[in-house]
Amino acid sequence: MIDIKFLRENPEIVKQNMRNKFQENKLHLVDDVIALDKESRAAKGEADDLRSERNKISKQIGGLMAQGKKDEAKKVKETAAQYSNRLIELEAKEMELSQKVLDIMMQIPNIIDTTVPLGKDDSENVEVERFLEPFVPDFEIPYHTDIMESLSGIDLESARRVAGNGFYYLLGDIARVHSAVISYARDFMIGRGFTYCIPPYMIRSNVVTGVMSFAEMDAMMYKIEGEDLYLIGTSEHSMIGKFIDQILPEESLPYTLTSYSPCFRKEKGAHGIEERGVYRIHQFEKQEMIVVCNPDDSKMWFDKLWQNTVDFFLTLDIPVRTLECCSGDLADLKVKSVDVEAWSPRQQKYFEVGSCSNLGDAQARRLKIRVDGKEGRYFAHTLNNTVVAPPRMLIAFLENNLNEDGSVNIPEALRPYMGGLTKIEKK
């Protein structure tokens, strides 16, 4: 959510930002919110004047009563009652208008960074850099679930009977690799100076609307029936929510946290052959990283965060590339975003395994995360990035480490977490 004062003073900048994000259908919101805000401030101004006048009248009534002028005091009391009745009307109007302004402001996209490439959707995202040389073996690589099944590592049919599509049982060495990746990611990020955290897996609605747009919430979140609670789609939600309505001392910044959690997602609209298996699922586990920092440091932290993910995959000998998300592919709260994509030898192309986002002060403004600085209070900047989500990472791991005989090599970095195992073989 952007600053209402900025919108008042720069309506054309806000509208151009909408055009850059190909959201022309929202242009009217700027004029709507300016009109409502003007009306709201007028109501507030009138209410403030009436309160001031009422206070004066109260003193006047006291003076008249002390002088025994009861009739005059009675007339003044009638005027005071009229003021009070009008104040009740104005306060109700002010509350109604303030809510309308807030509802519209929550729909207006954040101002994107000037370096973000313009484009309508993810097909126009821009490749930035590649790391390690992509490799295609001279033998055919099966689909990832076929590899897992050949190693007795997955049971999709039982999962369908138990929970429906979008779930799985991981078994044996494949399940062990999954856990090893999470444990390694935890220690990798601790080694980078981040504090390890296990957060709540459910959050209240005020946190949900503080960390994401309404469209994202509807597409992702599972609601707990009868409770003001939602299952998290990613731990960054509860991690950023940790700081809700807090005033942070400036000297305590930055907060750098890495969190483990299961994640739950509706995955609305997921279609296509690559949505089979464990690519898009309703439940998975993930290691995340978040930063709460001074606005002056957010660009520096943004570059550090995506580099952490690149470095993590490189230690596992998996080729990756970074992709700059274009304007039309940015969620409304994001200022800038870079995806990390891993190489798929089977498809001979890259696919997303992580996303790094700088949200500026949008989440902090919604959640009231403020910093007590030397020159006054200001809103913190928040950033998040995926370290690793094993379901997708497993695809990259299996395809890039598969041998012609169907066995899978264990990268050296994972071996301590696999009891020294160097290879997964068919039983």
In a domain, 117, yes or no: no
- Span 80-104, average pLDDT: 88
User: Which structure tokens are listed for 377?
Assistant: 């209070």
- Span 354-375, average pLDDT: 96
pLDDT tens string 105-122: 999 999 999 999 999 999
- Span 360-367, average pLDDT: 96
C-alpha closest to that of 280 among 145, 154, 166:
166
Residue 420's CATH number: 3.30.930.10
User: Which structure tokens are listed for 299?
Assistant: 């660009």
| 105, 137, 160 - which closes a domain | 105
In a domain, 115, yes or no: no
Name the 3-class secondary structure at 369: coil
User: Are 367 and 221 in a shared domain?
Assistant: yes
**The pLDDT of residue 275:** 53
> What percentage of the chain reaches a pLDDT higher than 70?
95
Q: Is the pTM of this model over 0.95?
A: no
- Determine contact, residues 34/8, Cβ cutoff 8 Å: yes
pLDDT tens string 173-208: 999 999 999 999 999 999 999 999 999 999 999 999
At residue 345, what is the residue type?
Answer: P
C-alpha closest to that of 177 among 427, 423, 426, 350:
423
Q: Quote the DSSP letter at residue 402.
A: B
At residue 55, what is the residue type?
Answer: N
- Determine contact, residues 277/157, Cβ cutoff 8 Å: no
User: Are 28 and 130 in a shared domain?
Assistant: no
User: Are 15 and 145 in a shared domain?
Assistant: no
In a domain, 113, yes or no: no
C-alpha closest to that of 222 among 262, 269, 265:
265
Residue 50's CATH number: 1.10.287.40
- Does the pLDDT of residue 152 top 90, yes or no? yes
For the chain, give the mean pLDDT: 92
User: Which structure tokens are listed for 41?
Assistant: 């401030």
C-alpha closest to that of 235 among 187, 285, 279:
285
**The pLDDT of residue 60:** 72
| 72, 105, 138 - which closes a domain | 105
User: Are 98 and 131 in a shared domain?
Assistant: no
Residue spans of alpha helices (H) in 192-270? 205-211, 214-220, 235-241
Q: Which residues pair with 356 in a beta bridge?
A: 338, 385
Mean pLDDT lowest for which of 80-94, 260-274, 285-299? 260-274
Of 307 and 60, more confident:
307
In a domain, 297, yes or no: yes
Domain count along the chain: 2
| 49, 74, 105 - which closes a domain | 105
- Does the pLDDT of residue 353 top 70, yes or no? yes
What is the C-alpha separation between 47 and 83, in angstroms, rounded?
A: 9
Of 220 and 370, more confident:
370
**The pLDDT of residue 79:** 78
DSSP labels, 93-154: HHHHHHHHHHHHHTTSPPPPPTTSPP-SSGGG-EEEEEES-----SSPPPPHHHHHHHTT-E
User: Are 32 and 166 in a shared domain?
Assistant: no
What is the C-alpha separation between 45 and 50, in angstroms, rounded?
A: 9
**The pLDDT of residue 233:** 93
In a domain, 224, yes or no: yes
pLDDT tens string 13-59: 999 999 999 999 999 999 999 999 999 999 989 888 888 877 777 66
Name the 3-class secondary structure at 331: coil
- Does the pLDDT of residue 86 top 90, yes or no? no
**Residue 96 — very low, low, confident or very high, per pLDDT cuts 50/70/90?**
very high
pLDDT tens string 308-334: 999 999 999 999 999 999 999 999 999
User: Are 337 and 292 in a shared domain?
Assistant: yes
In terms of residue numbers, what domain contains 129?
122-424
User: Are 333 and 229 in a shared domain?
Assistant: yes
Please give the angle made by the CA atoms of 293, 295 and 296, to the nearest 5 degrees: 105
- Span 284-292, average pLDDT: 97
What is the C-alpha separation between 262 and 277, in angstroms, rounded?
A: 18
Q: How many residues does the chain have?
A: 427
In a domain, 110, yes or no: no
